[in-house]
């Protein structure tokens, strides 16, 4: 059946969610379904005031639940705050629904994954999120129990989810186009001072925040990193030369950018400078790229360092101003 994890919050399976007598007896006012199929219509026919939410998801490690943590939290929290009683369920009540309940407990109590897992397990002893969901929960904790779109690991995570969809559809689905970041050369509002330019024509092709750093020999596109080893931001991470971790600089892996025209409708190809057409690198949604350091990154969008120049606009402006002042005093 179902167990009450904390007052007003129940975790159960499909059998419980379709048991009209149990729902009435326990005063369930909200149901959150995370399954491959929504609840049968007859449930709401018998309980017309029932409020439901449906998340379509299968119980596989590469399924994306992380992007649903925030709206699931809001659904559960609103139900409890309004003195309702909410049932969260999947087919067995073991992995998918348990993941959403653990995420809720983590955020509500500001707990680590391990501590929140024990809270839920103490009430429903056989819960067990699959390894992919566990990694998502740990990343959620590292982002401060929220979604930080600037977090490098979150960027890599979303790229991996998009790559799975490209593998099936052979094109980038419309709901993933936000992964393609704006052209840094055309940015006029708060442009980043640190950029990478085509060595031949000086056209800006990437900002420092577009870089996705990797460690030598790394074998996977995204992984959980302890908060103690993480860094404040990609900008500081790349400009900080004396750091405990030596990031590879043999190849620059970057986010998909708007000047890369083929990336939305091809699974792999070349990346040429949009101004002078010089080949700067390549991309591969599915096979990925092998870096000379031994890292295998997939999906991958990479630029060759020898084809680029690193440029700090702020420094350039300061140098120019100093020169102008020195000329004026001559």
Q: Is the pTM of this model over 0.85?
A: no
Residue-wise pLDDT tens digits, 282-305: 999 999 999 999 988 999 999 999
Percent of the chain scored above 70 by pLDDT?
Answer: 86
Which residues contact residue 55 at a Cβ distance below 8 angstroms, ignoring those fewer than 6 apart? 32, 33, 34, 65, 68, 72, 100
Mean pLDDT score, 228-244: 41
Residue pair 299/160 in contact (Cβ under 8 Å)? The answer is yes
The beta-strand segments (E) located in 135-259 are 194-198, 204-207, 252-253
CA distance 317 to 311: 11
Chain mean pLDDT for the chain: 88
Instruction: Grade residue 63 by pLDDT with cuts at 50, 70 and 90.
Output: very high
pLDDT value, residue 187: 74
Catalytic member of 90, 234, 248, 291: 90
Residue 276 has what DSSP assignment? T
pLDDT at 318: 38
Give the model's confidence band at 230: pLDDT under 50 very low, under 70 low, under 90 confident, else very high. very low
Is 276 known to be catalytic?
A: no
Place of tokens 């007896």: 25
Q: State yes or no: pLDDT of 125 exceeds 80.
A: yes
Element (H, E) at 91: none
pLDDT (average), residues 266-283: 97
d(CA 297, CA 287): 9
Q: Is the pLDDT of residue 165 over 60?
A: yes
Residue with more model confidence, 235 or 88: 88
Q: Is the pLDDT of residue 317 over 80?
A: no
Average pLDDT for 6-12: 98
CA atoms of 134 and 328, how far apart (whole Å): 63
- Whether the pLDDT of residue 223 is over 60: the answer is no
Q: What is the pLDDT of residue 255?
A: 97
pLDDT of 183 above 70:
yes
Per residue in 69-107, pLDDT (tens digit) is 999 999 999 999 999 999 999 999 999 999 999 999 999
H helix runs in 82-204, sequence order: 96-109, 113-121, 131-142, 152-169
Q: How far apart are CA 196 and CA 185, in angstroms?
A: 10
């Amino acid at each position: 059946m179902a167990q009450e994890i904390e007052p007003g919050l129940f975790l159960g399976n499909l059998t419980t969610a379709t048991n009209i007598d149990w729902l009435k007896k326990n005063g369930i006012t909200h149901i959150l379904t995370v399954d491959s199929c929504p609840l049968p219509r007859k449930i709401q026919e018998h309980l017309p005031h029932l409020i439901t939410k449906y998340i379509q998801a299968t119980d596989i490690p590469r399924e994306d639940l992380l992007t649903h943590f925030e709206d699931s939290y809001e659904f559960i929290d609103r139900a409890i705050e309004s003195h309702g009683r909410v049932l969260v369920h999947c087919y067995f009540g073991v992995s998918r629904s348990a993941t959403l309940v653990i995420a809720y407990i983590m955020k509500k109590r500001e707990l680590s994954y391990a501590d929140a897992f024990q809270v839920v397990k103490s009430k429903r002893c056989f819960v067990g999120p699959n390894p992919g969901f566990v990694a998502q929960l740990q990343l959620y904790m590292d982002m401060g129990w929220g979604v930080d779109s600037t977090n490098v690991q979150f960027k890599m995570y979303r790229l991996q989810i998009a790559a799975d969809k490209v593998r099936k559809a052979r094109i980038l689905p419309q709901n993933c186009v936000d992964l393609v970041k704006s052209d840094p050369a055309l940015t006029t509002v708060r442009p980043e001072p640190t950029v990478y330019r085509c060595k031949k024509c000086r056209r800006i092709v990437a900002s420092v925040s577009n870089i996705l750093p990797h460690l030598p020999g790394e074998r996977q596109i995204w992984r959980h990193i302890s908060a103690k080893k993480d860094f404040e931001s990609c900008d500081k991470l790349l400009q900080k030369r004396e750091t405990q971790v030596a990031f590879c600089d043999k190849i620059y892996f970057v986010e998909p950018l708007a000047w890369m025209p083929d990336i939305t409708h091809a699974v792999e190809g070349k990346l040429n400078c949009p101004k002078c057409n010089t080949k700067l690198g390549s991309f591969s949604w599915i096979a990925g790229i092998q870096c000379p350091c031994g890292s295998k990154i997939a999906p991958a969008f990479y630029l060759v360092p020898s084809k680029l120049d690193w440029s700090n606009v702020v420094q350039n402006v300061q140098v120019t101003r100093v020169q102008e002042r020195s000329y004026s005093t001559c």
